[in-house]
Structure formats: structure tokens, C-alpha cells
Chain A
Amino acid sequence: MNQDTLAVSAGARLAMCSHVDVYPHDTDDVFRKLRALGTWNIQRLHNAARPSKRRKLSLPMCDTCQSTLRPFACLHCPSTGCWHERHMRDHLEDTDHNFCVDVRTGTIYCNACADFVYERAAARTFAIATIGAEEIVGVARNNRQPFEPWRPNQKESTILQTAISMPCQARRGLLNLGNTCFMNAILQAFLVNPLLRDFFLSDKHNHLLCKNRDCTCCEMDKLFSEMYSENATPYGPASFLATTWRASAELSGYAQQDAHEFFMAALNHIHSTSRGSTKFQCICIVHSTFTGLLQSDVKCGRCGNVTTASDLMLDISLELQDKGSAGHAGSELTLASCLRRYTQPEKLGPNAYDCANCGKVSHADKRLSLRKLPPVLSFQFKRFEHKAGDKAAAQKIEAPVRFPSSINMAPYTSLAMAVREQEGKDGGPDSASSSLPGPASMYEYDLFAVVCHEGQINNGHYTCFARSQDEWYRFDDDKVSHSSLRACLSSQPQVYMCFYVKKHLDYKPYVTPSYKVAREAEAVREKQREREKEAARMREVEDALLATV
């Protein structure tokens, strides 16, 4: 089990609110309790999903009324009390105990403050215990690196002592260089992408050391350095634009471009200029961040045989229009309804499928599902219906689409489809999702960027909402303004793309990338060759000397 020794040592105090005098004396016991609650919660949720395999779990009940709704545990003694009937608060009043904790969330309540208080070490203990319990419960993820809180080692501590900290919050605007709002919106979405940010800010591709020409990775590195610096004046990404033009001629020129096209082209360029990128199973930053697996199951109408195929996907493009089949008729468009429609069975034409199993040509059902979820999920709403490749004669679909600040992707996974098939139910994603392997947090995503398009297809304008920690900002080229979640979510008629990041990331144990292994082996061989050359030269010199004697 985790020993969060950073948080507590015997006698250390919890630094919460100002009520120092009434802290529980035994802080070790408090942390033990918090850890137990974190673990218990996950086990409870895991049990709830598996009624057949239920293990015996103790159930907290209010000591006074035996209610099992919203129990709180006293931090000074073993009492349990419910919240709604005030029984826990009565207990605190009666006994002069001051602190209690909400069993469901681990939040601490201070009676003297008459409010919930935040205490960092307590919150960390609860969170770490929760993650630990999730790892045990999520047995499907055997090759996951167990979570460990970061502790600086000796070398890192020394560096931290002399390091100068500076504000770097990336709230700079980007200058419009001539209809480049499509690029600016996507770049802001890249800048606030946690995985891309961590990669480039930790110097994984240093543009001063890279020898490539027209290297988009170098442009990204330069962009991150500029935008995360202390300089707050708007920045003109001219070299990024120039490199993009050279890499993708179809995006060049000052006409308005499609942001999604630019997004895909940029991802491709970053991938191809990444060190060690490969055609298959690439581990470059783009593929590590955005790649998911899309599974398509085709069921033959005659023999029922199902053929399964998987494809890599970097994003999901969602249709907005109802093609007649059971779709959005009547009800409003939401991200969830678009995903349901995306993953529902689609009938292929009467003679469209040549079945390998029964050898006949017949009708078939095709169904898409998400086999593997990427760390960052990108959605595009297909608002622009191009007719026969002629960009000019396209229509924009202005329908508002409601999207949430967080979404659980479990119902759209291949696993969930399989479970539903077995249970014989169809539609109604609610029941099956709770019996999927692993804790719910495996499937949960948080919104962090939204790209909006206003106006018509040819003379529109792109803007972007981006989240930095818990605050939302609106980016309109060089104009940056503090916004709110409400404003972001109200952009339903304009939303074009949205980006979600997984709540909890899974890490495999670190393995040195193959190109690094190869490079080191090569360096060793090079040294060996040098030594041999040197030895050969020495022998020649000796021979020459001997000859003169």
C-alpha cells in the first residue's frame, strides 16, 4: 500500500482552516480512515456493477436513524451520522468533536467553520487511495504502471532549489496573418492539450538541436516556448504558417481554410518530423496522444457470420443530419446522441456484401464501436456538406449541438457492444455500461478545448474556447478574454470541434524507445571502431620505428 510519508509524520498537524485547537489528535488515524474510505468507495461501486459476484462489504449507517443515504464519519471517534437529518452535525455539537468526513467524496466538514474545508494532504491521501483501489479493481489493466506520487530525488531537489519560477500560463493571443483564424484556433487547442504541452515543454524536441528542414516539430517547440513565456503580447506564428505551406501546398494561400483539414495536416506533419516515428504502431507524440482503434463489425444478413476489422483513428467525425434511419428525429442534437447514432447498426444495401463465410452476396449490418480509447478524444461535427468535391457549392448545417464538460465513453466501446449483445438487450446504453470491466474513471473524459465557427462556409470566422486548469478563456485571434464554462457550453450553434482528455491516464512501464536503443548500440560500435583504428595506427608507428632501428 502507499505510504504517503510526505503528508504526515507522527505529530504533524493537518493545516486546514483556522481551527487549530480542535484538530483530531491522532492524525495517523485520520489518514488511515481517509484511505479506507477511498478504497471502500471504489469497492462499493465495483460491487454495484456485479450483483452476481457481490462481496460482503460493511455498510455505513447513521447511528441515530439507520439511514444509508449520505453518511458522514466523525474524525475524532468511530461515530457515523447522516447529513440530511443533521444527525452527524448533532453529534459534533453534542461531543465537541469538530471534524467529520463525507463517506462518498472524502470531503472534510469543520463544525466551527460550519462549512466544508479543503485540506491538501487529506485530499491527496483520499485521491491516492482511490487510485490504488481502482488499480486493484481494474484487473484488465495488468500492464499498467502502478501510480506513485512524484517525489524529487536528490538531483532534482538541488535543481529545484536554484530554479527560478516564472508564470507560464499560455494566455497569449495569436495574430491573424491573413485569414489564418483557422490555424490560430487549432494552435490554441494544441497549446492547452496536456499531453502535447508536457511533451514540448519538457524539451522532447529541441528546435535548437534538430537538424531537419521544414520541421513542424521544431515549429511546435518554438510555438510552445513563445506562448508559455512571460510575454503576454500577441504572437504571430509566421514561421509555423510558412512551414505548413511548404509541407501541404493545398493549405497555402490566403484564402480561408477548413480548421479540421489543417488539424489533420498538422498532426501528419508533426508525426512525420518526429524522431523515431514509424508507419506501424508509431509511438510519436501525435499517435500516443490521439490514436484510438475503431472497430467495425459486419454481420452477414444470410448466415449471421460476423467479420471484425480494426482501424486506427485520430479523431471521430460525427454526422449531424438525419439520413432517414432512426437518428435525431424530433429530439435535440447532443454529443451523446451523435455518438449513439455513430455506433448504431447501419444497413448495407441489398447486395452490397460478399460474405466470405457462406459465399453469397447479400445484405448486411455494419456496426462501428470504439475498441481502444485514446488519451485525447477529438470530435468533429460535420457541418460542411461538400457536394462532389466542389468546396464552393457546400452547405453549412447550423444546427446547435449540446456537448457536456465531461463524458463517459463506456457505452460506445466495443466491449459494451459485446456485453449488450450477450445480455440480449439492444439500445438503452444505461444498464450494460455499469458491468464493464474497470472503474468508471477509465472511460471518463473532460472537455478542454472547443473550436467554433461563425458565419458562412467561405467567409466565416474561427474562434476557440480553451480551459486552463479550471478556468475557461475565449481566444479570438489576438483577443483573449476570461470566459466561463457556461459561455463555452452556450456555443452550441457554433461548435465545430471539441477536444476531451481522459481523466486518468494509464502508463505502461517505461521502455527505452527502439530508436534510442539502436542509437546507443551504434555509438558503442563507433567507439569500438575508433579504438581499433587507434590500435592499428599505433602498430604502424611501432613498425615504422622498428624498421629504422
Chain B
Amino acid sequence: MYDPFPRALCSHNSTPAMPRNDGRNDLYPQLLRRMTGHGDYDRLLWVLTQKLNESGWLDDFRDKSKEMARNADSISAETMMTELRPQAEATIPPKVQQEIMTMIRQYLEKQVEG
């Protein structure tokens, strides 16, 4: 079968990363790989999507981006993202944010324990 990722390596024993300077934990890449590889990332994303859909946030930005594109002569996706991202991050309902953060925290605690 055609493999679109011929050089992909799902390695859990890669050499330790250099100390980071972006404020993130050293274990970040490894944890992220595990989270995406085991499907936990997709599961969390699904829960987040459902909650944001129910609160109307998803439709709000669906409409904002569409009308922004309609009203501009030609606008790139990157420009739209730059303009809408601050609003998007600010309007996430606090309750949803808390619930998802809790789920992430629970996941991380399980990873670090085992």
C-alpha cells in the first residue's frame, strides 16, 4: 500500500531533546507523540469540537471567516488566521476551557505515573 510517510519513525527511544527555550517541558515532544500515536489527541479534539459546537463558538467563527473572505477582495488564509485567532482564543467559554484542561491534566498524570 502506498505509504505517504516513507520516512516516518514512531520511535519512543530517540535521543533526548536539547533543553528547550520555548517555555515547554523537555518531555513535550515525546508526550505529544504518544498522545497523537495512541489516538488520545483525536479523542480529546472530538470532545472539544462537540463542546465548542454546542456553545455556538464553531458556527460563530465559521460565519466570521466566511464573511471576512466575502468582503475582502482577496485575502490569504494566513491573514485571516492572524486576525481571527485572538478573538477565537478569547471567546472560548471558560467552562469548556476548564473541562478540557482537566481532561488533559488527567491524561498527563496517567502518563507520568506509568
Contact = CB atoms under 8 A, between A and B. Distances in A.
A54 B63 CA distance: 37
A544 interface: no
**Which label, helix, strand, loop or mixed, suits the secondary structure of the A interface?**
mixed
Interface stretch (A31-39, A216-224, A389-397): A31-39
A423 interface: no
Given A407-B53, A430-B50, A484-B63, A68 B36 contact: yes
Nearest to B45: A48
A114 interface: yes
A45 B32 CA distance: 17
Contacts of B112: none
A33 B4 contact: yes
Given A80-B7, A486-B63, A59 B77 contact: no
A24 B5 CA distance: 18
A408 interface: yes
Interface string B39-53: 111110011001001
A68 B62 contact: no
Contacts of B26: none
A61 interface: yes
Contacts of B109: none
A32 B3 CA distance: 10
Given A47-B39, A68-B37, A115 B77 contact: yes
A149 interface: no
Nearest to A66: B29
B54 interface: yes
Contacts of A58: 3-5, 8, 10
Q: Chain B CB within 10 Å — which of A33, A48, A78, A406 has the most?
A: A48
A67 B8 CA distance: 11
Nearest to A85: B22
Nearest to B60: A486
A80 B9 CA distance: 12
A402 interface: yes
A114 B81 CA distance: 13
Interface in A334-381: 334, 336-337
Contact of B37 (A32, A59, A115, A336): A59
Contact of B56 (A37, A63, A404, A406): A404
B59 interface: yes
A412 to B, nearest CB: 12
Interface in A110-165: 113-116
Contacts of B7: 63, 78, 80
Contacts, number: 108
A521 B58 CA distance: 55
Interface residues of B, number: 38
A404 B54 contact: yes
A65 interface: yes
B113 interface: no
B14 interface: yes
B5 A59 contact: yes
Contact of B43 (A32, A337, A407, A434): A434
A54 B38 contact: yes
B37 A48 contact: no
B63 A485 contact: yes
Contacts of A318: none
B37 A36 contact: no
Contacts of A334: 54
B1 interface: yes
Contacts of A67: 29, 32
Return the 9 tightest CB-CB contacts between A and B, nearest first: A48-B39, A48-B42, A115-B76, A68-B36, A36-B4, A486-B63, A58-B8, A36-B2, A60-B5
Interface of B: 1-10, 14, 29, 32-33, 36-43, 46-47, 50, 53-54, 56, 58-60, 62-63, 66-67, 76-78
6 contacts: A48-B40, A51-B38, A59-B36, A59-B37, A67-B29, A115-B77
Given A59-B36, A60-B8, A61-B33, 15 more contacts: A33-B4, A36-B3, A48-B42, A51-B39, A58-B10, A59-B8, A59-B37, A67-B29, A78-B7, A114-B76, A115-B78, A404-B53, A404-B59, A433-B46, A440-B46
